[in-house]
């Protein structure tokens, strides 16, 4: 007597991984009843398992109801590359899209460092040139300010030029017998009238 027929199951992705140790390898594992078939697509083109090109190699292992498949790339992609791992049986299809993005090469970081150093050097040169261009104006302003300060100090120390000094003129008395007041730069002196 025959056993019960296995129930049908649509294809399902159970596991996927990518590694970049020696070569770039990506794997997909599918489960389904009947056992699914697995196909790899790269940039929209089907990758044949018997690919004569040595750059791509596809290896598949089928142990019912599981199907495992691995794609190996001999060289890491130089630009972003889209991989598609697709498992299907008559009950359904399941796919996984993988986007491979290349790592930045050391030359791009070296280019950044070189550009940074070059920017610092050019900035320093531009600052020095601006200082040299504006230093005559700065010096002229400083000289004018110092000249004004020196002139003010000289005016304070020279009594003949002092603006606050008043002329020595006796005041006319309005009434006889009163004192006349005359001013001096130091103090006021009262003189009696004759």
Torsion of the alpha carbons at 124, 129, 130 and 133, rounded to the nearest 10: 160
Distance, CA of 194 to CA of 188 (rounded, Å): 19
Q: What pLDDT does residue 92 have? A: 86
Q: Which residues contact 61 (CB under 8 A, 6 or more apart)?
A: 67, 68, 69
For residues 61-90, average pLDDT: 86
Point out which residues pair with 189 in neighbouring strands.
182
Distance, CA of 45 to CA of 81 (rounded, Å): 12
Domain 9-100, second-level architecture: Sandwich (2.60)
Q: Which residues contact 182 (CB under 8 A, 6 or more apart)?
A: 168, 169, 170, 171, 188, 189, 191
pTM: 0.48
pLDDT over 70 (residue 179): no
- Give the pLDDT confidence of 128-173 residue by residue, as tens digits: 888 888 888 888 999 999 999 888 888 888 766 445 544 444 555 5
- Give the pLDDT confidence of 83-92 residue by residue, as tens digits: 899 999 988 8
CB atoms within 10 A of CB 25: 16
Q: What pLDDT does residue 177 have? A: 56
For residues 26-41, average pLDDT: 90
């Amino acid at each position: 007597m025959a056993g019960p027929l296995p129930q049908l199951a649509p294809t399902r992705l159970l596991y996927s991984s990518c590694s970049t140790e020696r070569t770039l390898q990506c794997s997909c594992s599918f489960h389904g009843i009947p056992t699914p078939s697995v196909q790899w697509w790269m940039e929209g083109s089907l990758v044949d398992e018997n690919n004569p090109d040595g750059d791509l190699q596809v290896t598949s292992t089928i142990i019912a109801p599981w199907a495992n498949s691995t794609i190996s790339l001999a060289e890491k992609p130089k630009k972003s590359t889209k991989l598609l791992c697709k498992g299907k049986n008559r009950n359904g299809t399941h796919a996984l899209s993988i986007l491979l993005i290349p790592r930045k090469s050391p030359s791009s970081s070296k280019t950044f460092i070189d550009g940074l150093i070059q920017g610092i050097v050019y900035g320093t040169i531009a600052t020095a040139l601006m200082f040299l261009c504006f230093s005559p104006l700065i010096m002229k302003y400083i000289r004018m300010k110092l000249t004004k300060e020196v002139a003010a100090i000289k005016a304070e120390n020279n009594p003949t030029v002092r603006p606050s000094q008043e002329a020595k003129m006796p005041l006319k008395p309005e009434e006889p017998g009163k004192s006349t007041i005359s001013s001096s730069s130091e103090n006021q002196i009262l003189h009696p009238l004759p």
